Amino acid sequence: MKKRYFVILFVIGLIALSFVPFISPVRPFIQLPGEVWPGTQDWPFFGTVLGGMTNTFASALVAWLVVIILAVSLRAGSRTADEVPTGFYNFFEMVIDAAYKFAENIAGPKVKDFFPWFMSFLLIILVTNWMGLIPGWDSIGFWEHKPHFYAEKEIRLIDDGLAVAEVEGEGEVEKYVSDLEARYGVEVHLENGELSHESEEEILHVLEEEFNADNKGDLRVNGLLLRADKNADSTAAVETDEEGRLVGYNDQAADWTIVPIFRPGATDLNYTLAFAVIAMVMVQYYGFKYLGARSYLSKFFPFIGKGFGQEVAKNPIKAIDPVVGLLELISEISKIISFAFRLLGNLFAGMVLLFVMAFLLPIANLAFFGLEFFVGLIQAAVFGLLMLIFMVSATTSHHGDEEHH
């Protein structure tokens, strides 16, 4: 009975989120690249090399940590397992055994080489996908003032424009600076080929006022982010001193959003592309290992294979094999793109779907959470399965026989 009442209260709460204006969900702020944690741009390595710690990278690190802890705990359990294992270890043993038999049906004897990659990719991607379904995973984070965020992006573009103008030749920098002064109505000074600190602050202030006029964000009230209505006051968003310099932001302004601390790693192309590249590199490695360099490369360049000239003499249609091989090579490269964008598209679309439904009708997310649970599982399984199939295909010669070295 108690559980039933808890579920009923939970559903009533979701319905209330849909119709009570004060607690209704805020408008989601969605962007494709992973967001950078504010203040991490100056961190060693992360700031200088990566431009700051992104929430998708942080999520990927947590996923790796979870999988490593899982592997270590299961390894320890295997040493002390009873004759008839029970509990969590027994469940995972059944999962691994089922996955191994499934992979063995596809790969045959070569499963011993391929299975570690298949299972590792499956687990890491699955954990990363399912983490996005934890309540608060991509909705708890850092405050971000959107006009300031957009203004900083524009400042970086201006610095890039100055660098390009300097490369183009004499007089281009002066022309570019003149255009900036006309555009922003301030006197622009340079230091070491970049905007001086004073000029940057003045342009930043102008840009913030322009972006602030759009009033696209939500209201920040103390520790809450509330949905802003059409009449929300945005004129007081930026606080300045007597000389017009920026001193802070007014919380009662409809220009705020939240940068999530974590966001599902697979919603970032960098994450999916990294897995795709690793997968296809290993596909090529096993192709060379099982067939040898000449035999494997003859799939793409048939004319280097043994007896190619004799085969063409016997069957002239074989003369088109180099063209087919070239298409095979293009197909091999395109698999990286296919891998990366299939996983990215499905997971990013799922995240957007949950955001939008939470904004429109929160109670509908009860159904969509279940859907995304299975989407996360299916996409991880599809990624591992395709990699396994490509490995099997790469280790089978174009004549249908296999060579082992």
Q: 177 and 283: one domain?
A: no
> Would 166 be classed as within a structural domain?
yes
Q: 129 and 150: one domain?
A: no
> Would 209 be classed as within a structural domain?
yes
Nearest alpha carbon to residue 10 among 365, 256, 336, 268: 365
Q: 278 and 134: one domain?
A: yes
259 bridge partner residues = 142
**Per-residue pLDDT tens digits of the chain, which is 405 residues long:** 567 777 778 777 767 766 665 556 666 677 788 888 877 877 777 766 677 888 899 999 999 999 999 888 887 666 655 556 666 778 888 889 999 999 999 998 999 999 999 999 999 999 999 988 888 888 788 888 888 888 888 888 898 888 888 888 778 888 888 999 998 888 888 888 788 888 988 998 888 888 877 777 788 777 777 777 655 655 555 556 666 555 555 666 678 888 888 988 899 999 999 999 999 999 999 999 998 888 888 888 888 877 767 777 777 877 788 888 888 889 989 999 999 999 999 999 988 888 888 777 777 777 888 888 999 999 999 999 999 999 999 998 765 444 444
Q: 255 and 292: one domain?
A: no
pLDDT the model gives residue 118: 94
Rounded to two decimals, the pTM is 0.77
> Would 19 be classed as within a structural domain?
no
> Would 17 be classed as within a structural domain?
no
Which uninterrupted H or E stretch holds 20? none
> Would 15 be classed as within a structural domain?
no
Q: 254 and 145: one domain?
A: yes
Nearest alpha carbon to residue 118 among 403, 391, 384, 400: 384
Q: 404 and 279: one domain?
A: yes
256 bridge partner residues = 145, 218
Cα dihedral 36, 41, 45, 51 in deg (nearest 10): 60
> Would 161 be classed as within a structural domain?
yes
In the listed set 214, 234, 260, which residue is the last one of a domain according to the structure? 260
Residue 181 is part of which domain span? 141-260
Q: 312 and 404: one domain?
A: yes
> Would 286 be classed as within a structural domain?
yes
Q: 198 and 268: one domain?
A: no
Q: 62 and 91: one domain?
A: yes
Q: How many domains does the chain have?
A: 2
pLDDT the model gives residue 401: 45
Q: Kindly give the residue spans of alpha helices, DSSP state H, lying in 20-82.
A: 55-79
Q: 256 and 145: one domain?
A: yes
pLDDT the model gives residue 134: 86
pLDDT the model gives residue 302: 82
pLDDT the model gives residue 65: 93
pLDDT the model gives residue 42: 75
> Would 284 be classed as within a structural domain?
yes
In the listed set 242, 260, 278, which residue is the last one of a domain according to the structure? 260
Which residues does 366 contact at the CB level (< 8 Å), separation at least 6?
A: 11, 14
DSSP 72-95: HHHHHHHHS--SS--HHHHHHHHH
Q: 358 and 288: one domain?
A: yes
pLDDT the model gives residue 396: 85
Q: 364 and 388: one domain?
A: yes
SS3 label, residue 346: helix
